[in-house]
Amino acid sequence: MAEHDLILLTILIPVLGSILIAIAGERYRDVREGISLLSAVLLFIVVYLLYQELPESHLEAVKLATVMPGLTIAFRLEPLGILFAMIASFLWIITTIFSIGYMRGNGEPHQTRFYVCFAWAIASAMGVALSANMFSLFIFYEFLTLTTYPLVTHSGTDEAMRSGRLYLGYLLGTSICLQLFAIVWTWSLTGTLDFTRGGVFGGESSEIVVTVLFALYIFGIGKAALMPFHRWLPAAMVAPTPVSALLHAVAVVKAGVFTVLKISVYLFGLDELASSGAADWLVFVSGATIIIASVIALQQDNLKARLAYSTISQLSYVIMATVVLAPLSIIGAAMHIAVHALGKITLFFCAGSIYTASKKKNVSQLDGIGHYMPWTMAAFTIGSLSMIGVPPAAGFLSKWYMLLGAYQAQVWTVVTVIVISTLLNAAYFLPIVYAAYFREPPRTITPHGEAPAPVVIALCLTAVLTLAVFCYPGPLLELVRQIGK
Amino acid sequence: MTHSLVLLVVIPLIATPVCILLHKRLLIWPVVFTVSWITFYIACDLMLAVRDGGEIYYYLGSWAAPWGIEYRLDSLNALVAVIVSGVNALVISFARASIFQEIPEDRIYLFYCAYLLNLAGLLGVTVTGDVFNMFVFIEISSLSSYAMISLGKHRQALLAAYRYLIMGTIGATFILIGIGLLYAVTGTLNIPDLHTRLSAMETSRTVITAGAFLTVGITLKFALFPLHSWLPNAYTYAPSVVSAFLAGTTTKVFIYVLLRFLFSIFGTGNMFDIVSLDKVLMICALLAIYSGSISAIYQNNIKKMLAYSSIAQIGYIVLGISISSVAGLTAGIIHLFNHALMKTALFLCVACIVYRTGKVSLKSLGGIGKAMPWTMAAFVVAGLSMIGVPLTVGFISKWYLILSALNQEAWWLALAILTGSLITIIYVWRVVEAAWFRTPASELRSGKIREAPLSMLVPLWILVIANIYFGVDTGITAQMARQSAELLMGMP
Amino acid sequence: MEYLTGQYNYWVVIILMMIGFYIVISHGNLVKKLIGLNIFQVSVFILYISMAYVRGGTAPIDAAEYSLYASPLPHVLILTAIVVGVATTSLGLALVVRIYRAFGTIEESQLSHVEEDD
C-alpha cells in the first residue's frame, strides 16, 4: 500500500473504530472491547509499515485539505513523528488490555463513552505525530485536548468537574492565547508554517522577535507542563487510571514535548536557536521545573499525584535536553520520550492494579503489599529504576545521552540538574519499593491477591519492554539519529 | 436586464398578502417555505454571477440612476443577501413545529406575514442603491420585528418589544436625519452618485454631522456596545425561531449598512481620517467584546447568554472593520458570515430544547445531553465554533482577525482578541458541562423528554455542517470577503 | 444675529428635537414616551420640508407665470416618512395596550417592580 494511504489510515482506523464502538455500545460489550483492541492492533501494524517505509520516504506531504491559501492540513513521514506514533499506537494495544480489566474490575460507568473518546484521543495523537506543518499540528493538538476532556471528567463528581475545568482552562487557555498567537505571528513573518529542516526563519528576523516567539511557543504548549502551566496534570489524575496511564503519561504530555522538539528542530532550527540565543533562558526554567516538581513529588502521599509530579519533572528533562541544542542531547531528548513513556505507563498500570485489587490510593498504605501483589510490585520496581535512570532499565539510556550532550555543549547547569534530580527521583521512588517489600503489612488488612489478569499482563509487558529497550537499543537509536537529518 | 435582482425583494413582499388571504395555518407554511428557498436560490445565483462577472444593476421602472431608484449588487451585498436568505430558508424549514407550539393559533398567519415583511425589508436594505429607499426598508424590517418579538410567550416580550421600538425608532430617525443632511449637501440619494459628489467637494461640517448621525443611528440598530441595551431582552423573550432569525440576519444587515455608508458613500477612510471614527469604533468594539462576554458568563437563561454573546461577537466584526485595512475588513466580513452560521445554529438548538422542555434556564438542563443527544451535540459543535476551535468557521474568523491585527503590528489587539475567546470558552462550557456531565434531573430521567423531531434536526444539522464545511474550505467565503474588502477600500 | 434669525427653521427643528428626545428619556409613562417619539420624528419632517423650501417659490407647476419652484423631492420623501411614523406610533400604542392588559400598568417605575417578580 502506498505511503499516502497508510498515513491517512492512521487517522481513519481509530475514528472508524470509535464509530463501531459507539454502535456496539453497552449491550455488546465484548464486541465493543474487541473492536477497540482490534483497531489498536491494526493501527500499530499500519504505523509499523510506515516505519518500514521511512528510509524510502520521498518526504512529500500528503495534503488532506487546503483551508486557506498556503495553509493546509497535511501529513508527512518523519523520524520523530514515527517514533511518537509508534509509542502511542503500541501502548494503546497494551492499555486497551489493561482497560478491559480495570474498567470491568471497578465497574466504571459510561464505558462506551470512555472507549470512544479514547479512540478519538489516539486519532488526534496520530495527527499530532504525523503533521507536516504547524497549522495541522495545532488542529490536532486542540482536538487532543477536547477529546480527552470527557475522559478527565469521566466520573462526573464535583471534583472531576473542577479538574475538568482546570484541565480545559490551562490547555485551551495556553494554546489559544499564546500558541495560536505565535503561529499567526510566524505565518505573518515568514508566510509558511511547514516543518522544514533548519527552520523557516532563515535568520531574517531579529533576535528579540525570535526569542519572544520561542517563548510564546514554549509556554503556549501547555501539554509540556512546563512550570508555571503545570497544574492541569495533577488535576487530570482524577480520571480512571488507564486514562492517566496512556494519555497523561504518554499521548497528551508526550504530544506536548514532541511539539517542543518539533518546533525547535523543524520550525526554528537548532542553528537559528543557537545563534540567536533564543532558547538560553529555557535551560533555567526547565531545570527549575525538574527540581521543584521532584520536591513536590516527595511530599505527595497520593500515589497517582506523586507519579503526576514525577511526570512533570521528566517532561522538563526533554525540554531541557532539547534546548542544550547539541546533536547528542537531541538524541537523548527523543529517546526520553520513548523511554519515559514505557517506564511511566508501567508505574501507572501498577497504581491502577493496586487500586483495583485493594482500593488503595496512598503511598502510606502500601506497607508490605509486595507480598500480596508480587508481579505488580516487581514491575513497579523496574519502572522506578527506569525513572531514576539505573541500568538495566531503559531510563539509563536517555539520561546517558543527555549527560553526554550537556558535556559536549559544556552546559554545566544541565549536568548539575540531572544529578540532583536523579537523587530526588530515588528519594521519592525507592521508599515505596522498600515499604512494599520490607515493611510488615498492617494487621487490619484483609488479604487480597493480584488484580485481574488483563491488568497484570499489561503491566508485565511494559515492564519487560523497559528492560528490553535497554538490552536492544539498536532500532530506537537508529531512528532517533535520523531526526533533523 | 435580468429581473432576478428585484424579484429578491418582490417575491416575499407579494407573498405577504397572499398569506393573509390564505389564512389557513396548514397552507401558509408551505408557501413561506417555497418563497424562502426561491429567494435563497436567487441570492446564490446572483452571488455567483457577481463573483464571476462584476456588479449587477437594476433600474426600477427603467428610470436610470441617479433619478430613478437603482438596485445594485456588488460582492459585499451579494454575500449579505446570501446570508440573509440562507439563514431565513433554514430557519423557516425549522420553524413549523416550533411556531405551532409557541404562537397562538389564530395569530400564526399574521406571524408569518410579519416574518415575510421582515425578510423583504432586510433583503431590500441589502440590495438597494438608494439611501432613502434603504431607510424605508429599514423601517419595514424593524416594525415587523417589533411585532414578531411581541408575540413571545412570556409577558416580558411585550416590554422588550416596546423598548426595542423606542430605541429602534430613535435609531431610524437618526439615520433619516443623516440622510436628509447628505441630501441637503449633495442633492442626490443614489449611493454611487453620493460618493462622486461628496468626493468632489470639501468635507464640510454638515457632512461630518451627517456621518455622526448615521453612525450613531446604525450602530444603535445593530447594538454596538454602549447602544446595546435593547438587544438582550428582545432576543430572550422573542419566540425561539425569531431569536434565531434576528440573531443571524438583522445585525448583519445593519453592519452592512454601516460599511456602505462609511466606505462606499463617505469614501474609504474619510470619516476615519477626519474624526478618528476608527479609534472610536475600535474602543466600542473592544468594550463590546469584553462586556458582552463577561455578562454572558453570569446569565442563567441560555437565550440571554447567547444574546450577550451576540453583543460580543458583533464587537469582533466591528473590530475587524475598525482596523480599516483590507485584511481587517476581510476578517470583519468573514466573521459576519461565520457568526450568522454559528449563532443561528445555537439559537436553533435552544429552540429545540424549548420545544421539548419549555425551559431555558441552565439549571433545568442538567444532563439533557442524554435525552437530546443530537441537539446537544449540535450545540457543542456550534459552541466550539464560537470559541474558535480549528476546523470550524470560528477559527477562520479568529485567524483572519489576528492576522490583520499583527499586520498592523498591533500585537496588543491580537492578544485582546485571544483573551476574549478565552471568556467565550467559559460561557459555552457552562452549558456543555451542564448538558453532558451533570446528573439528569428527575424529569429527564423518567424518559418523558425525547429528542427533537427530524424536521428540526435536519435544518439544524445543515447549519452545523456548514459551520464545519466553511471552516475547512474557505474558498468561496474568503474570496467574496476579500473582493468586498478591496471594493470598500477602493481598490479595483 | 443674522446667524440666529436667518436659519430660524433649523433652530425650531433642533428645539423640537430636543423636546421630543427629553420626553422619551425622562417620562416614565409609556404613552408619553410615544408622544415624545412623535415630536422627535416630526422635527425631522420639518427639517426636510423647510430645507426644500425656496423663498417665494411654489409647487413645481409647469406654467408660464411661475418660474421659482420649491424642490418637490423632499416633500415626497417625507410623505413616506410620515407614513412610517404613523405605523410606528400605531404599533407602539398597540403594544402599550397589550402591556396594560398583561401588567396592569403602563408606568415604567411600576413595571420595573413587576419585572423583578417575574
Q: Which whole number is the average pLDDT over B361-377?
A: 84
- Name the strand (E) or helix (H) holding B56: strand B56-59
Residue B175, SS3? helix
pLDDT recorded at residue B254: 94
Residue where the block lists cell 503590528: B409
pLDDT recorded at residue C35: 93
Chain C interface includes B67 (CB < 8 A): no
Please give the residue that has the higher pLDDT: either B450 or C29. Answer: C29
pLDDT recorded at residue A278: 78
Report residue B91's pLDDT band, with 50, 70 and 90 as the boundaries. Answer: very high
- State how far the alpha carbon of B444 is from the alpha carbons of A464, B240, B377, B485, in Å: 49, 21, 17, 49
A453 has a pLDDT exceeding 80: no
Lowest mean pLDDT segment, chosen from A188-197, B433-442, C36-45: B433-442
Distance from the Cα of A275 to chain B's closest Cα (Å) equals 25
| Chain-chain contact of B437 with A156 (C-beta, under 8 angstroms) | yes
Taking CA–CA distances from C97, the nearest residue in chain B reads B158
Residue A213, SS3? helix
Distance from the Cα of C113 to chain B's closest Cα (Å) equals 12
Please name the chains neighbouring A, where neighbouring means 3+ C-beta pairs under 8 angstroms: B
pLDDT recorded at residue C89: 94
Could you report the per-residue pLDDT of A116-174, keeping only the tens digit for each?
888 888 889 988 988 888 888 999 999 998 888 888 888 778 888 888 888 888 888 88
Which grid coordinates belong to A396?
Answer: 539509563
Helix B326-357 to helix B240-259 angle, to the nearest 10 degrees?
Answer: 170
Which grid coordinates belong to A215?
Answer: 517563548
Lowest mean pLDDT segment, chosen from A176-190, A464-478, B237-251: A464-478
List CB contacts (< 8 A) between B389 and chain A: 142, 146
Which grid coordinates belong to A1?
Answer: 500500500
CA-angle at C110, arms to C104 and C114, nearest 5° = 75
pLDDT recorded at residue A305: 86
Strand B70-73 vs strand B56-59: parallel, antiparallel, or unpaired?
antiparallel
Which amino acid is residue B348, in one-letter code? L
List CB contacts (< 8 A) between B136 and chain C: 80, 84
Please give the residue that has the higher pLDDT: either A192 or B221. Answer: B221
Question: Could you give the CA distance from residue C106 to residue C98 in angstroms, rounded to a whole number?
Answer: 10
Whether residue A392 is preceded by a cis peptide bond, meaning omega within 30 degrees of 0, is yes
Burial of B359-393, coded b for 16+ CB within 10 Å and e otherwise, reads bbebebbbbbbebbebbbbbbbbbbbbbbbbbbbb
A1 has a pLDDT exceeding 60: no
Taking CA–CA distances from C44, the nearest residue in chain B reads B177
Q: Which of residues 46-75 of C touch B (CB under 8 A)?
A: 47-48, 51, 74
**pTM summary value:** 0.90
Report residue B283's pLDDT band, with 50, 70 and 90 as the boundaries. Answer: very high
DSSP string, B329-345: HHHHHHHHHHHHHHHHH
- State how far the alpha carbon of B127 is from the alpha carbons of A352, B46, B79, B84, in Å: 66, 11, 11, 11
| Chain-chain contact of A184 with B403 (C-beta, under 8 angstroms) | yes
Lowest mean pLDDT segment, chosen from A439-448, A462-471, B152-161, B200-209: A439-448
Could you report the per-residue pLDDT of B27-60, keeping only the tens digit for each?
888 888 999 999 999 999 998 888 888 888 888 8
pLDDT recorded at residue A57: 64
A298 has a pLDDT exceeding 90: no
Distance from the Cα of B468 to chain A's closest Cα (Å) equals 11
Which amino acid is residue B264, in one-letter code? S
B25 has a pLDDT exceeding 80: no
pLDDT recorded at residue A323: 85
Question: Could you give the CA distance from residue A148 to residue A139 in angstroms, rounded to a whole number?
Answer: 14
pLDDT recorded at residue A484: 61
Report the residue from A73, A146, A177 with minimal CB separation from B419: A177
DSSP string, B272-310: HHHH-HHHHHHHHHHHHHHHHHHHHHT-SBHHHHHHHHH
**Whole-number mean pLDDT of chain A?**
84
Structural domains for chain C = 2-55+67-117 (1.10.287.3510)
How deeply is A99 buried, as exposed, middle or buried, from its count of CB atoms within 10 A (0-12, 13-18, 19+)?
buried
Taking CA–CA distances from B471, the nearest residue in chain A reads A67
Distance from the Cα of C48 to chain B's closest Cα (Å) equals 6
Residue where the block lists cell 529497550: A469
From the list B480, B460, B487, the residue with the least C-alpha distance to B91 is B460
Could you report the per-residue pLDDT of A74-111, keeping only the tens digit for each?
888 888 888 888 888 888 888 888 888 777 777 777 78
Report residue B90's pLDDT band, with 50, 70 and 90 as the boundaries. Answer: very high
- Name the strand (E) or helix (H) holding A26: none
B82 has a pLDDT exceeding 80: yes
Query: What is the rounded radius of gyration, in angstroms, for the C-alpha atoms of chain B?
Result: 21
Report residue B253's pLDDT band, with 50, 70 and 90 as the boundaries. Answer: very high
Report the residue from C77, C84, C103 with minimal CB separation from B139: C84
A451 has a pLDDT exceeding 80: no
Chain C interface includes B170 (CB < 8 A): yes
Distance from the Cα of C57 to chain B's closest Cα (Å) equals 17
pLDDT averaged over 10-residue windows placed end to end, chain C, 118 residues: 74 90 90 93 89 77 77 85 92 93 85 68
pLDDT recorded at residue A277: 77
